[in-house]
Amino acid sequence: MITLETLRKVEIFTGLSDEELGLVMKFCEEIEVPAGFTLCAEGSRADKLFILETGSVSIKFSKGVEFEISTPGKILGWSFLVPPNRYTASAITNSPSKLLVIKSPDFYALVHQNTQMGLKIMDNLAQVVAKRMKAFVDLH
């Protein structure tokens, strides 16, 4: 069951009010998947954003780079916002995992429904992408 407490931990929902998180909740689907489950494949059409609740996920790039996400509230699949809307890496669960899923059309409906809230979400998303790019560059 999706709760406000779960959504408060999500890095792109930082700073949202309980009322705004209630709107977000309507667009989220919760899934449970086994270890070894492919959430998305590099190069495939990016149409979902994933939010880790429990478990861990390996992010694998075809060039051999790999890292793990195991912190609740971290997002995967943000490339669904950027043309050509293709996942830039594969995401495979390392353990049984629970995730929230937001489909691309639902995400766009959410951020346009309340533009002030949408701006907060997009600002948080830009910060997440910038931090990950910096971490990636620092490693290589």
pLDDT tens readout for residues 43-82: 999 999 999 999 999 999 998 888 899 999 999 998 888 8
Q: What is the pLDDT of residue 42?
A: 97
Q: pLDDT class for 140, splitting at 50, 70, 90?
A: low
Please compute the mean of the pLDDT values over residues 27-56 and round it to a whole number: 98
Please compute the mean of the pLDDT values over residues 109-137 and round it to a whole number: 90
Burial class of residue 7 in the structure, from the number of CB atoms within 10 Å of its CB (0-12 exposed, 13-18 middle, 19+ buried): buried
Q: pLDDT class for 136, splitting at 50, 70, 90?
A: confident
Cβ-based neighbours of 6, under 8 Å, separated by 6 or more: 53, 72, 100
Q: What is the pLDDT of residue 133?
A: 83
Q: Where are the alpha helices (DSSP H) in the chain?
A: 4-8, 18-25, 104-113, 115-139
Which structural domain range is residue 66 located in? 4-139
How many domains does the chain contain in total? 1
CATH code of 56's domain: 2.60.120.10
Please compute the mean of the pLDDT values over residues 108-112 and round it to a whole number: 91
Residues 2, 95: Cα–Cα separation, whole Å = 20
Percentage of the chain lying above the pLDDT 70 cut: 99
Residue that has been written with the tokens 């002030």 in this structure = 116
Please compute the mean of the pLDDT values over residues 76-102 and round it to a whole number: 95
**How far from each other are the two terminal CA atoms of the chain, in whole angstroms?**
39
